[in-house]
């Protein structure tokens, strides 16, 4: 028997004795098998792979109902439940590194969502027909999961394509509305931000060594008992290495090397979560071999990459420019380079005194329970650290985790690196992607104009300012 873990449901693979022991999916919710779905799979007699997709789709709906259905209890809101489910599938449930739903879904491609919605509608229509004669209301009496699905389907009979189109239109209108509110005041006066949303450089040291201080740490002298070394290391990678908040989560313990140009500094390689190569000793032959990370995780630990798991352990991956193509990895470029020495020193302490030695996975950053760290857990810790130094964790102020990447981009620009060099340092596939990170602030423009004034005078411009053109008043 094999299990696939979700939030509110468990999917088991069982032997169907009525069909010569053919494997079939049995969904268990709240500890109870959902037999109508089992009978549905029996009646369809689908191949195993297709049936797995059906089970995954309906499992997502069960998880969503457990997390959100109560919000649509009012009669006027009930038809919106499936629309909200479609929206969550398409755009994900994670906002600013947090997810109050607890689902931790990332955005899915439109074609994938269309397929999932089609399967959910197909199954829910079958359940709706099965329970149509019963006046079932889960808010009036306890109802089985199958009955609940039928209940919600009764209130929304739109086809999957209509659901998706409605969600896209809703999201576009909502986005336009938010944009209008964000960039204009009454009277349509545009707002110009004074600076890009970069984490303020003057507060970084305070964040690292005061914000991430452990409870009672001020009384400790040993660094690993004084500070949260894990979150300091992650913040160093983001602020001085330009990593996105999800990327440190994919690091394995031995992805940190000694810099051949400086034995006191760390060299960090971030590998593709699935396709990245991993050199290891084969347990059967004892020979050094190389495999993809996805294969190694499956064979050695019976695990999947963090991009493929759900829940709090999920970490996304954005298409990045790979500086080490044969390894399917990119290098972290420290700026300033001296940070590499601080990182290596703290990394050694973290490995020796903080991270448990024997874990059933190779990931570098872990929770207190030893599980791979997820983006949401770190983001909450980061927000607490920001508040601890009397700042507010707000994206527009640069004090969210992503603000560190903006700060890195600004620093590269002010350091005089070329457009191509910044592209490689920030691992952008497209050169234009860096524009949002290197845009000039209003302060930058004012300083540039002040610097340009002597050049203007040297060029023989006939006046220094408009005041010289004002007519005299007797």
3-state secondary structure 427-447: CCCCHHHHHHHHCCCHHHHHH
Regarding whether 154 and 20 lie in a shared domain, the answer is yes
**Residue 190 placed within a domain:** no
Structure tokens at 9: 């449901």
Q: Provide the angle, in degrees to the nearest 10, between the axes of the packed helices 403-414 and 229-239.
A: 40
**Residue 465 placed within a domain:** no
C-alpha dihedral (106, 107, 113, 116), degrees to nearest 10: 0
Cα 84 from Cα 70, distance rounded (Å):
12
What size, in residues, is the chain? 474
Regarding whether 370 and 257 lie in a shared domain, the answer is yes
Tell me if 400 sits within 8 A of 394, measured CB to CB.
yes
List the CATH number of the domain containing 382: 1.10.443.10
Regarding whether 160 and 275 lie in a shared domain, the answer is no
Regarding whether 174 and 209 lie in a shared domain, the answer is no
Instruction: Estimate to the nearest angstrom the gap between the alpha carbon of 270 and the chain centroid.
Output: 16
Structure tokens at 427: 């691992």
Cα 54 from Cα 126, distance rounded (Å):
13
Residue 283 is predicted with a pLDDT of 67
- Identify the helix (H) or strand (E) that includes residue 91: helix 81-91
Cα 107 from Cα 116, distance rounded (Å):
13
Regarding whether 359 and 253 lie in a shared domain, the answer is yes
Q: Could you tell me which of 270, 271, 330, 278 has the C-alpha nearest to residue 301?
A: 278
**Residue 461 placed within a domain:** no
Q: Report residues of the chain scoring pLDDT below 70.
A: 1-7, 76, 131-142, 158-162, 164-196, 283-284, 432-453, 455-457, 459-474
How many angstroms separate the Cα of 436 from the Cα of each of 63, 171, 276, 395, 439? 36, 23, 28, 14, 6
Regarding whether 393 and 273 lie in a shared domain, the answer is yes
Cα 69 from Cα 283, distance rounded (Å):
48
Residue 360 is predicted with a pLDDT of 94
Regarding whether 379 and 234 lie in a shared domain, the answer is yes
- Does residue 223 sit in helix, strand or coil? helix
Structural domain count, the chain: 2
SS3 percent helix, strand, coil of the chain, rounded to 5, is: 50, 15, 35
How many angstroms separate the Cα of 271 from the Cα of each of 184, 292, 303, 415? 42, 10, 17, 27
Residue 294 is predicted with a pLDDT of 93
Regarding whether 218 and 134 lie in a shared domain, the answer is no
Structure tokens at 46: 């689908």
Regarding whether 217 and 172 lie in a shared domain, the answer is no
**Residue 232 placed within a domain:** yes
Residue 140 is predicted with a pLDDT of 62
- Does residue 253 sit in helix, strand or coil? helix
How many angstroms separate the Cα of 368 from the Cα of each of 133, 160, 359, 365, 373? 51, 42, 12, 10, 9
Cα 306 from Cα 318, distance rounded (Å):
13
Tell me if 277 sits within 8 A of 290, measured CB to CB.
yes
- Identify the helix (H) or strand (E) that includes residue 265: strand 262-271
**Residue 404 placed within a domain:** yes
**Residue 194 placed within a domain:** no
Global confidence as pTM: 0.57
Q: Angle at CA 210, nearest 5°, toward 207 and 211?
A: 50
DSSP assignment, residue 105?
Answer: P
407 Cβ partners below 8 Å, 6+ apart?
A: 198, 199, 200, 201, 204, 239, 398
Q: Could you tell me which of 333, 319, 332 has the C-alpha nearest to residue 275?
A: 319
Regarding whether 209 and 344 lie in a shared domain, the answer is yes
- Does residue 400 sit in helix, strand or coil? coil
Tell me if 19 sits within 8 A of 3, measured CB to CB.
no
Cα 200 from Cα 183, distance rounded (Å):
22
Q: Could you tell me which of 333, 238, 318, 240 has the C-alpha nearest to residue 272?
A: 318
**Residue 392 placed within a domain:** yes
Regarding whether 242 and 161 lie in a shared domain, the answer is no
- Does residue 1 sit in helix, strand or coil? coil
- Identify the helix (H) or strand (E) that includes residue 126: helix 110-130
Residue 151 is predicted with a pLDDT of 82
Q: Using omega within 30 degrees of 0 as the cis cutoff, is the peptide bond preceding 336 cis? A: yes
230 Cβ partners below 8 Å, 6+ apart?
A: 350, 354, 355, 365, 366, 373
**Residue 453 placed within a domain:** no
Residue 320 is predicted with a pLDDT of 87
Residue 169 is predicted with a pLDDT of 58
Domain of 220 in residue numbering reads as 201-437
Tell me if 57 sits within 8 A of 40, measured CB to CB.
no
- Cβ density class 258-281: b for 16+ within 10 Å, e for less: ebeeeeebbbbbbbbbbebbbeee
Residue 150 is predicted with a pLDDT of 81
Regarding whether 206 and 175 lie in a shared domain, the answer is no
């Amino acid at each position: 028997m094999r299990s696939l873990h979700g939030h509110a449901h468990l999917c088991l693979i069982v032997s169907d004795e009525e069909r010569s022991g053919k494997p079939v999916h049995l969904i268990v919710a709240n500890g109870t098998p959902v037999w109508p779905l089992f009978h549905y799979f029996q009646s369809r007699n689908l191949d195993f792979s297709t049936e797995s997709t059906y089970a995954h789709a309906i499992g997502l709906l069960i998880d969503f109902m457990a997390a959100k259905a109560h919000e649509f209890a009012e009669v006027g809101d009930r038809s919106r439940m499936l629309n909200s489910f479609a929206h969550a599938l398409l755009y994900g449930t994670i906002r600013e590194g947090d997810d109050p739903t607890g689902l931790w879904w990332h955005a899915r491609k439109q074609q994938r969502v269309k397929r999932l919605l089609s399967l959910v509608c197909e199954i829910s229509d079958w359940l709706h027909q099965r329970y149509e004669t019963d006046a079932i209301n889960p808010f009036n009496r306890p109802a089985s999961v199958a009955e609940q699905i039928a209940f919600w389907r009764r209130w929304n009979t739109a086809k999957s394509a209509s659901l998706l189109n409605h969600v896209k239109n809703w999201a576009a209108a909502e986005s336009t509305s938010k944009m209008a509110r964000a960039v204009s005041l009454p009277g349509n006066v545009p707002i110009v931000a004074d600076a890009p949303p970069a984490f303020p450089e003057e507060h970084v040291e305070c964040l690292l060594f005061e914000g991430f201080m452990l409870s009672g740490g001020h009384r400790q002298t040993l660094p690993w008992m004084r500070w949260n070394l894990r979150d300091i290391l992650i913040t160093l990678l983001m602020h001085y290495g330009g990593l996105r908040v999800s990327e440190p989560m994919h690091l394995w313990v031995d992805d940190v090397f000694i810099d051949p140009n400086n034995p006191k500094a760390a060299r960090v390689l971030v590998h593709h979560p699935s396709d990245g190569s991993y050199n290891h000793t084969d347990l059967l032959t004892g020979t050094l071999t190389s495999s993809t990370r996805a294969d190694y995780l499956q064979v050695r630990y019976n695990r999947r990459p963090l991009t493929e798991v759900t829940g709090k352990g999920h970490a996304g991956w954005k298409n990045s420019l790979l500086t080490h193509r044969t390894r399917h990895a990119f290098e972290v470029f420290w700026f300033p380079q001296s940070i590499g020495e601080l990182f290596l020193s703290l990394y050694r302490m973290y490995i020796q005194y903080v991270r448990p030695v024997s874990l059933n996975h190779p990931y570098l950053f872990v929770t207190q329970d030893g599980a791979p760290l997820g983006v949401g857990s770190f983001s909450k810790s980061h927000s607490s650290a920001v508040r601890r130094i009397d700042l507010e964790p707000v994206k527009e102020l640069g004090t969210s985790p992503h603000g560190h990447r903006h700060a890195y981009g600004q620093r590269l620009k002010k350091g005089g690196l070329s457009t191509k060099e910044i592209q490689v340092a920030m691992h952008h596939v497209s050169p234009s992607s860096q524009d949002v990170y290197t845009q000039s602030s209003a302060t930058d423009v004012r300083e540039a104009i002040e610097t340009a004034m002597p050049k203007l005078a040297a060029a023989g411009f006939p006046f220094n300012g408009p005041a010289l053109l004002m007519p005299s008043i007797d």
